[in-house]
Amino acid sequence: MNVLVMGGSLFNGRSLVHRLVADGHEVTVSNRGRTEADLPGGVGRIVADRTDHDATRAALGGKQFDAVVDMSGYHPEDVELMIEIFTGNVGHYIFVSSTTIYSSGKVGVYDETDPVDRGVDQNEYALHKILAEDILFAAHRDDGFPASVAALSMVLGPHNAIPSREQRMFARMRDGRPILVPGDGSTKGLIGFIEDQSNALSSMLGVEATLGRRFNVTGNDPHDDRRYIEVCAALAGATPELHEIPSQIVDDLWDAKIRVAADQGPRVGLDIRPTDAALERVLPHLSKFQIATLVQRLQPNLHRWDHDTVFGVEALREATGWTPAFTFEQAMEQTYEWWMATPAVNEIHHDFAWEDEILGLL
C-alpha cells in the first residue's frame, strides 16, 4: 500500500515508519522537517507545517494515498483539514487518539464502550482528541469518510522522548537511589510496547471492519507498582531500598496539601502544540503530574494514584487478528538495553531533590 504518515520522525511515528517499510509498504512522511529522523531508505518526505493550512493544502492537495496514519493530529482543526484534503483521495484514514480520553472510576478493564471525559478536569490534549474523534465519526457516518481511530495508551520502548517515565526509574536503579512506593504498591497499570503498537497500526490498514470505530491499542500484560520496580531492578542488577509512602501521605501529596519542590529536571520531548489556554486546565493538577512520576501513572488529572488503569484490546484482535507479542518484562528489557547504550538519554540529569524531601517526611 501507498501510505502517508503524518509525523513520522519521533518515537511513535519513527517506529511506525520502520514497521510499514518492513511490511512492504511504500511510505511517505509529512512533517515540519525540523527533526533529524532515522528513517529507512526510500521513504518519501513532504515538508509541511500542518498549523499553516494553506501550505498544507499546497503540499498535500491532489495527492492520493491508499492510507493515511495521522500521528500528529492534536486539535479538531487538524482533522477537519485532513477530511477536506483527503475526501476522495484516500482509501483509509487512521487517526491516532489516546486512552487518556476515558472517564475515571472504572472497576476492571476499560473497553471502547466506556464513557469519555469532557469535564473541567480533562486536559486539552485528551479533550481535543475527543473532539477530533467526534468530527471523524460524523464524517464517516454522514459522508462515508473512511476513518478509524486507534487510542494508544502509555507506551515504552527505545527512542522514547518522555524521559520522566521508565528512564527515570532506570536512573534511580543505576544511581542506587532509594525507591518510593506509593501506598502498598498494588495499583495496576498497563503500558504498551512501541513495537506492538506499530504492529497494531499496520494491522489496521485497509481493514473495512475498523471503519467508523475506535480501538484501544496497548499491551495485554498489566503490572502493579511492585512488579514495575522489581523488573527494573532485575534489569539493572540492583537491590534497591524500598520505602512505602503511607496512603494518607500520598493523598496529601497528590492534592498539594503537602508540598515539595517543583521538579527541575528534563521536560517532555514531544511538541503536542498546546494552545494558550491549555495551561489553565493543567494548573490545578500540577502536583499530581509530578507525583505520578514516582511510578508512572496515566492521566493523573483524572485517574487517582490508587486507581487501576487497564485497557482491553480484544476489539482490535477480533477485527484484525493482531495481538501484543511482548510481555512487560520483554518490553522493559529492550527499552533498558537501548537506554544503557545511548549516552544522550542515560546521561540526562533527573532532579531527585523533591523525592529526597518525601524521604525526609517518612
Supply 223's cell numbers: 503490572
CB atoms under 10 Å from CB of 179, counted, come to: 21
Partner residues linked to 214 by β-bridges: 149
Q: What is the per-residue pLDDT for 281?
A: 86
| Whether the Cβ atoms of residue 91 and residue 66 lie closer than 8 Å to each other | yes
Q: What is the per-residue pLDDT for 289?
A: 95
| Whether the Cβ atoms of residue 26 and residue 1 lie closer than 8 Å to each other | yes
Q: Where are the domains of the chain?
A: 2-155+192-217, 161-189+222-307+327-361
Chunked mean pLDDT (size 10), the chain, 362 residues:
92 95 97 80 93 96 97 96 98 98 95 97 96 98 98 95 95 98 98 97 98 98 98 98 98 97 83 82 91 96 97 98 98 98 95 98 94
pTM (two decimals): 0.95
| Whether the Cβ atoms of residue 66 and residue 89 lie closer than 8 Å to each other | no
CATH class of segment(s) 2-155+192-217: alpha beta
Q: What is the per-residue pLDDT for 49?
A: 92
From 191, 114, 170, 152, select the one nearest 339 (Cα to Cα). Answer: 170
Q: What is the per-residue pLDDT for 354?
A: 98
Burial of 128 (0-12, 13-18, 19+ CB in 10 A): buried
Supply 32's cell numbers: 515540519
Burial of 14 (0-12, 13-18, 19+ CB in 10 A): buried
